[in-house]
A = this chain, B = another copy of it.
Amino acid sequence: MTTNSSPQLWLYDTTLRDGTQREGLSVSIEDKLRIARRLDQLGIPFIEGGWPGANPKDVQFFWQLQEDPLKQAEIVAFCSTRRPNSTAATEPMLQDILAAGTRWVTIFGKSWDLHVTTGLKTTLEENLAMIRDTIEYLRSQGRRIIYDAEHWFDGYKHNRDYALQTLEAAIASGAEWLVLCDTNGGTLPHEISQIVQDVVKVTGEWGMGHGAWGMGKESTQSPMPNAQSPMPQIGIHTHNDSEMAVANAIAAVMAGAKMVQGTINGYGERCGNANLCSLIPNLQLKAGYSCITEDQLTQLTEASRFVSEVVNLAPDEHAPFVGRSAFAHKGGIHVSAVERNPLTYEHIQPEQVGNRRRIVISEQSGLSNVLAKARSFGIELDQQKAEAREILQRLKDLESEGFQFEAAEASFVLLMHEALGDRQKFFEVKGFQVHCDLIEGKETSNALATVKVAVEGKNILEAAEGNGPVAALDAALRKALVNFYPQIATFDLTDYKVRILNGHTGTAAKTRVLVESGNGRQRWTTVGVSTNILAASYQAVVEGLEYGLLLHSQAEAAVKASS
């Protein structure tokens, strides 16, 4: 646990730059601004915003932040060293950087001799001059510099002397942070540890000698190394190609690095960057470092989901710390034990990162699972009474038919109310028909659904079209019900999943359909199973509407009770 005396680390988020390199991820300026403000709230001190000049979107992003700045965080502009055989002062790219108006600039340069000669096609000496000239010029314009040493670890392994010369050039010209990058993501933790230790030692010796290194003027500003330690500080930037990004970053911190770069949800090129959602709790709850406040840490799960919503990628339900399954418990004995003493089955308290424990209902469930689950939905079951055992039996029967309630909690709640005899009948479906007509060569293939529903003693017959049978069925049901339950206008189908059970018997196999519905504030999932995919979809869609109505009626009852 963090205490007042825990050593401080500086977090540096690059979701908005390196994170957006992930295949399939694209963001608007508005998206980037929303994420930046959220990271600011979360307490990340450095937020890399992009490479203005390389990308017109990024130019505008920085302008908008000049108009309406972040509250606490430093927004950082990112750029390479100047081109070979030019001067920094005449490099247009660097004018864009200055125009971005940030206090801090991250400059990346080459550490690996091979990249200098075969990539940049220049001399090793010119590469050092590019580093020096670029940093000196930006310093002369009042900027503070973070230096990203690209391909550091590979470069160090191939030519330690030259790699160290590039760092020396960065320090001598006024960089305040040296960030060691495992750009290809191939390094293992024990190598990271040895190399960072060496760099900390060597640069520490330089720092002592560099009286003129001079960060004096700004050195009382936070967040950064202060006047009391006028030495270059080391940072770490890792990629996940060996599934080691988080472990490598922690190995670097334990070897003396003081800045940790990463992205929310580990987004990034290829296999991603170091995942801040795992790094922060590991560093703070386990390794004894201080990064953000305890209050901010409790926002982590929400921040992770917020970012995945904004970039429109499905959240990883199995993500450490912040995933929906991260604190999910199955199985009878296990569940009663975790309720007695969470310490025995959970490595941290889920609430510390804003997540929560979930009791999963499944085939292996015992009675204590069912009771715990019911309780989490505000339903008190009596272990001694027949209902609890009846629910358990019904659950097992349905699961052996192929139902699965792990991911379909709304259907489970309806099942409990059924067993308790207090399931509200909002409507009754008397039957449905689906018709689909496809003509070869015709682009669209609408489906037509008709439903017959009984509500408040009346039979309603309605029909609707959709771009598939499920959409048509959903539309017809809503049309039939919306006059009785106007709140249905706010419901929508947000996800639809299909799994063929006991496959390998062709289309006679059973189909399980999960439907996720929402009302703008909440989301819930229902399940249907049948050999007929349309019948399975129908069950799930109908229960999805019913559960939405149940939520609404509970909310109304709560308002009445409190007034």
Q: A residues near B, CB below 8 A?
A: 21-24, 26, 28, 30-31, 54, 112, 114-115, 118-119, 151, 184-190, 240-244, 246-247, 250-251, 254, 269-272, 275, 278, 282, 286-287, 312, 314, 317-321, 323, 325-328, 330, 333, 337, 340-341, 343-348, 360, 364, 404, 406-407, 428-440, 445-447, 466-471, 474, 492-509, 511, 530-535, 538
Tell me, in angstroms, the Cα distance from A418 to B184 when the chains sit together: 36
- Residues B286 and A119 in contact, CB atoms below 8 Å apart: no
Which residues of chain B are near A243, meaning CB under 8 Å?
246-247, 275, 278, 282, 320
| Copies in the assembly, this chain | 2
The verdict on A470 contacting B533 (CB below 8 Å), with A23-B406, A287-B188 known, is yes
Which residues of chain B are near A323, meaning CB under 8 Å?
270-271
Shortest A25–chain B CB gap in Å is 10
Given contact pairs A188-B282, A188-B287, A497-B500, a sample of 8 additional A-B residue pairs in the complex whose CB atoms are under 8 Å apart:
A23-B317, A24-B317, A242-B321, A271-B325, A430-B440, A431-B440, A494-B506, A496-B500
Which residues of chain B are near A532, meaning CB under 8 Å?
436, 438, 445-447, 467-469
Shortest A216–chain B CB gap in Å is 37
Which residues of chain B are near A23, meaning CB under 8 Å?
317-318, 325, 328, 330, 360, 406-407
The verdict on A504 contacting B498 (CB below 8 Å), with A119-B344, A250-B188, A318-B272 known, is no
Tell which of B115, B321, B344 touches A115, judged by Cβ atoms closer than 8 Å. Answer: B344
- Residues A326 and B533 in contact, CB atoms below 8 Å apart: no
- Residues B496 and A503 in contact, CB atoms below 8 Å apart: yes
- Residues B270 and A318 in contact, CB atoms below 8 Å apart: yes
Tell me, in angstroms, the Cα distance from A118 to B474 when the chains sit together: 50
- Residues A320 and B242 in contact, CB atoms below 8 Å apart: yes
- Residues B312 and A530 in contact, CB atoms below 8 Å apart: no
The verdict on A468 contacting B271 (CB below 8 Å), with A243-B246, A347-B242, A506-B493 known, is no
Which residues of chain B are near A531, meaning CB under 8 Å?
467-468
Which residues of chain B are near A501, meaning CB under 8 Å?
26, 28
Which residues of chain B are near A151, meaning CB under 8 Å?
344
Tell me, in angstroms, the Cα distance from A331 to B272 when the chains sit together: 16
Tell me, in angstroms, the Cα distance from A314 to B185 when the chains sit together: 24
The verdict on A438 contacting B445 (CB below 8 Å), with A469-B533, A471-B507 known, is no
Tell me, in angstroms, the Cα distance from A533 to B185 when the chains sit together: 39
12 A–B contacts, CB within 8 A, in A order = A24-B317, A119-B337, A242-B282, A243-B278, A244-B246, A270-B318, A271-B318, A314-B504, A429-B440, A432-B437, A468-B534, A498-B498
Tell which of B250, B341, B360, B436 touches A534, judged by Cβ atoms closer than 8 Å. Answer: B436
Which residues of chain B are near A404, meaning CB under 8 Å?
24, 26
- Residues A184 and B345 in contact, CB atoms below 8 Å apart: yes
Which residues of chain B are near A508, meaning CB under 8 Å?
467-468, 471
Tell me, in angstroms, the Cα distance from A150 to B238 when the chains sit together: 32
Tell me, in angstroms, the Cα distance from A251 to B247 when the chains sit together: 10
The verdict on A497 contacting B503 (CB below 8 Å), with A269-B330, A286-B186, A287-B188 known, is yes
- Residues A533 and B344 in contact, CB atoms below 8 Å apart: no
- Residues B535 and A189 in contact, CB atoms below 8 Å apart: no
Shortest A362–chain B CB gap in Å is 8
Which residues of chain B are near A499, meaning CB under 8 Å?
312, 498
Which residues of chain B are near A494, meaning CB under 8 Å?
504-506
Tell me, in angstroms, the Cα distance from A226 to B35 when the chains sit together: 57
Shortest A112–chain B CB gap in Å is 7
Which residues of chain B are near A497, meaning CB under 8 Å?
500, 503
